[in-house]
Structure 1
Amino acid sequence: MKNSLKPKYDMRLLFSCLFLVSFFNSFAQDVKPEIKPIVKIDSLYREDQFYFSVTYNLLVQAPSGLKQDKFSAGLSAGFLRDMPINKTRNISIAAGLGLSYQNFYQNLTISKGPDGEQVYGVNGYSEFVTNRYKQYSVDMPIEFRWRTSTYESYKFWRIYSGVKLSYIFSDKSILKDGETTYKISNNKDVNQFQYGVYMSAGYNTWNVYCYYGLNSLFDKSVKTVSGESIQMNAMNIGLIFYIL
């Protein structure tokens, strides 16, 4: 009796083993290994950037008695093309194009005389209600760059310095003395071509910025009613933000 049952159990064991083998074989075929894409690192990266700056505007080397009032603000924005000059690409030269708006609240007044000529004066704040000068320009910055960036990180320390060439395509001064309002647009005495040096330094997006104009805002021939030459340069101090 025992011998007759043994072949049956052997057959059952054989079929069970075959079933398990086929099950694990089909399961192994369904589970495919995940193939991750190969990411190629760009070792020839550039720091091409959009920039935006907010500044406080100062007038330096101004006529005696000239003072600024309120907050004279400046805004600028543009794009810079990066051109690395060394193998590690942490030193480069960049050139760009941008637009600027500069506003000055001060007591250098520009009015008109009886014959229509422009009259310049440095007056006390009690002698007028409001006085301001604003200008719009196209800028071309050219800068030398040092930074600690790599192709794997966009957060780094930087020091950028260079020169900025500007063309003032629109300017306007507004003087209200309580009786008359003088509005003078595109003043012929304004030096439309401006140039100066600047520097920015910081980490990641936040950077301090300083610009110093090397030529006067007004022509050398312009003088106040007291005979003093108006040779004053612009200086901008603030923050500049770089966006990749």
Structure 2
Amino acid sequence: MRIVLSCFLLLFVFNVFSQENTTGVEAPIVKVDSLYREDQFYFAITYNTLVDKPTGLSQNKFSSGFSAGFLRDMPINKNRTIAIASGFGFTYNNYNQNLIISPTDAGPVYALIDPNTKYNKNKFSLLSVDVPVEFRWRSSTYESHKFWRIYTGIKFSYLLYGKSVYDGSTGKVSVTGNKDFSKFQYGAYISSGYNTINLYAYYGLNSLFKSAKVNDESIDMRSLNFGIIFYIL
């Protein structure tokens, strides 16, 4: 009887030691990236409209715009869901409309094209270097690059190149280096959406022209652009 009892106690002790060894395995350590950033590069495609147009000025055809650049993301809270960002980029905008710009020795002259006049093209194009400054909110985490976002801010632009082109039955007229365009432009913008593709809107806060008139009326029109913007890490 004593031999049987001793064997039972010995097996019980071995079983206890075996259970302690299996439960003592440490779980793998998951490293959390506490310094991740979001949305460093952007590319936007827009439809361009004009607001506060002079009497009789109208747009025709599709006016497009393209923007691209780099932004430095700087989170300001622990979860890195709120940030500010700034950087630089370039914007190229076209505006198809019925305002013809003609060169003269005294400077550009502005006139509205007669509605009965047939022409192939009339537009002005602007190329600018941009400095956007924006406030960011997003639902991002270090584990996923798919999240909701709302970004809003102000974009400061410096005009690098401006050109107007008229192509009609009487020939082709173009003007480059028009000093009546505002060199410095700025406007407010907002983008919102999910993942890579987002809706985008920009509203110019100052006029595209600084000292131009048509029919004795100042040309104080501004840009209002709608489109989509892509963000890439």
* More strand by percentage: 2
Corresponding residue to 2:61 among 57, 60, 70: 70
Corresponding residue to 2:108 among 118, 138, 154: 118
Query: Match of 2:181?
Result: 190
Q: Measured at CA, do residues 53 and 97 of structure 1 come closer, stay the same or move farther in structure 2, by a change above 3 Å?
A: same
Query: Match of 1:181?
Result: 172
Superposed, which structure 2 residues align to 1:26-37 within 5 Å? none
- Spell out, residue by residue over 1:55-108, the C-alpha distance to the aligned partner (whole angstroms, 9 max, x if none): 000111010111111110000111111001111110000001111110110001
Query: Match of 2:216?
Result: 227
Q: How far did residue 45 of structure 1 move? A: 1.0
Q: How far did residue 238 of structure 1 move? A: 0.3
TM-score w.r.t. the length of structure 2 is 0.84
- Spell out, residue by residue over 1:196-241, the C-alpha distance to the aligned partner (whole angstroms, 9 max, x if none): 000000000110000000000001x3111x2111000011100000
Q: Measured at CA, do residues 39 and 199 of structure 1 come closer, stay the same or move farther in structure 2, by a change above 3 Å?
A: same
CA contact (8 A) 1:128 1:176 kept: no
CA contact (8 A) 2:39 2:231 kept: no
Q: CA RMSD in A?
A: 1.7
Query: 1:229 is matched by which residue type in structure 2?
Result: S
Equivalent position SS for 2:158: strand
Q: How far did residue 125 of structure 1 move? A: 4.2
Q: How far did residue 178 of structure 1 move? A: 1.6
How many pairs were matched up?
206
State the distance in 1 between where 2:176 and 2:108 align: 12
Query: 2:166 is matched by which residue type in structure 1?
Result: L
Equivalent position SS for 2:116: helix
CA contact (8 A) 2:60 2:97 kept: yes
Structure 1: gaps spanning 5 or more residues: 1-36
State the distance in 1 between where 2:160 and 2:108 align: 20
Corresponding residue to 2:202 among 208, 211, 214: 211
State the distance in 2 between where 1:170 and 1:109 align: 18
Superposed, which structure 2 residues align to 1:72-111 within 5 Å? 72-111=63-102
State the distance in 2 between where 1:68 and 1:48 align: 34
Q: Measured at CA, do residues 41 and 125 of structure 1 come closer, stay the same or move farther in structure 2, by a change above 3 Å?
A: farther
Structure 2: gaps spanning 5 or more residues: 1-27
Percent of aligned pairs with the same residue? 58
CA contact (8 A) 1:191 1:216 kept: yes
TM-score w.r.t. the length of structure 1 is 0.80
Corresponding residue to 1:51 among 22, 42, 58: 42
